[in-house]
Amino acid sequence: MPPGKMYTASLRDLCYPRCSRLRVAAIRSSISSQRTICTTSTAPYQDSAPRSVISVPATLTNCRYAQRHPRTVAASPCPCFQIRRASSQFSRVVMPRPGTTAETYVAYGMTQKLFEACSSQADYSIPQASQKGAQVPKTEAGEDLGVGQGWWYEDLGLIPTFSTWSQITFLHMYLLTVRLRVLPSYESFQTYSRHLIDHFSHNAEHRMDVLHGFTSRTIRNKFLKDLFIQWRGVLAAYDEGIVKGDAVLGAAIWRNLWKASHTGPDGKELDWTKIARVVAYMRRVTSELSQVSEADLIFQLYQTGAKPSIFGYSELDKRLVQGKR
């Protein structure tokens, strides 16, 4: 029986308003004797499953009650036998224990670098924003049109706007979220995911102010609330696509990146192979991220020398789509 259950009812009786002083004294005496027996066990009680039985420690056998009633206690599980995910030696040194203050600071710094890798995939600029009196070009929907590079704009034909940047950044943040879900504890995942969306909010608000001229904080907060709702929708839509198949995942990508339009920015019919390439891209990145330890994520998301980054264009995605046609 776990120690907490030995005197839970007695503690409840102490809080009863009609409990007499004599009864309180008797209950406290009973609790004290029970605590004397249970003080030697410092490991938290896990469950009531039967475990191997060992002899009572010497500190417990010195008790008068133990000398009169020799007993055995259940061995508590040793933490060293808990199954942990294999990781590199570097990650074991760097990653702090879950739930500690050190983990919060480490998570903030790591997610800053992770977000920068996500944000740079579809980065854009608006040269007219820094020119006094210059007119910022607009799209047909009235969005500020910027200038961007990379395969998202050049190969897939997406328009460099704030909306496109946010959705492509969300896509990469989702891929990282899938990887972070296998952290050692749920508290660690919550810490990392919270810092990740916080970095996005700060960067998005900065872009609204500097590039798009939203000087009112009230207006920016309204847009940030809408973006957070979109983020929750992205998580649900891509989770469903990952589970149910490429067709459902492609539909979610089409709704978020191409805004559920059957025509491209040039007015022609949409090339559906572009959506298939994004599906293949997400599948490949998810698979490669699953093979990287937590502490090594930062190094794998940036190109180092001749080794390409996990994020970014790959001929494997294109060949995979062409091979299925």
Which pLDDT value is given to residue 235? 98
For residue 322, what pLDDT band results from cuts at 50, 70 and 90? confident
Is the pLDDT at 155 greater than 80, yes or no? yes
Are 118 and 154 contained in the same domain? yes
Whether 210 is covered by a domain: the verdict is yes
Are 183 and 119 contained in the same domain? yes
For residue 146, what pLDDT band results from cuts at 50, 70 and 90? very high
Are 153 and 262 contained in the same domain? yes
Whether 291 is covered by a domain: the verdict is yes
| 181-216 tens-digit pLDDT | 999 889 999 999 999 999 999 999 999 999 999 999
Are 303 and 169 contained in the same domain? yes
* DSSP 3-state of 69: coil
| 14-73 tens-digit pLDDT | 444 444 454 545 544 554 444 434 433 334 434 444 443 333 344 434 444 444 444 443
Q: How far apart are CA 301 and CA 183, in angstroms?
A: 18
Whether 84 is covered by a domain: the verdict is no
* DSSP 3-state of 148: strand
Which pLDDT value is given to residue 305? 63
Are 122 and 145 contained in the same domain? yes
Are 64 and 109 contained in the same domain? no
Residues whose CB is less than 8 angstroms from the CB of residue 136 and which lie 6 or more positions away in sequence, other chains included:
126, 128, 129, 144, 145
Are 159 and 228 contained in the same domain? yes
Are 144 and 171 contained in the same domain? yes
Query: What is the rounded average pLDDT for all residues in the chain?
Result: 77
Please answer whether residues 234 and 171 qualify as being in contact, where contact means their C-beta atoms are separated by less than 8 angstroms: yes
Q: How far apart are CA 192 and CA 209, in angstroms?
A: 26
Residues whose CB is less than 8 angstroms from the CB of residue 116 and which lie 6 or more positions away in sequence, other chains included:
none
Are 215 and 251 contained in the same domain? yes
Q: What is the pTM of this model?
A: 0.69
Last residue of a domain, one of 17, 46, 76: 76
Which pLDDT value is given to residue 149? 92
Phi, psi at 282, each rounded to 5°:
-65, -40
Whether 70 is covered by a domain: the verdict is yes
**Percentage of the chain with pLDDT > 90?**
51
Of 257, 254, 251, give the one whose Cα is nearest residue 166: 257
Are 163 and 245 contained in the same domain? yes
Task: Give the residue numbers spanning the domain of 127.
Answer: 89-324
| 275-295 tens-digit pLDDT | 999 999 999 999 999 999 887
Q: What is the mean pLDDT of residues 124-152?
A: 91
Are 97 and 159 contained in the same domain? yes
Q: What is the mean pLDDT of residues 99-113?
A: 81
Specify the DSSP element, H or E, that contains 125: strand 124-125
Are 263 and 153 contained in the same domain? yes
For residue 325, what pLDDT band results from cuts at 50, 70 and 90? low
Number of compact structural domains in the chain: 2
Which pLDDT value is given to residue 293? 87
83 Ramachandran zone, left/alpha/beta (phi>0; psi -120 to 50): beta
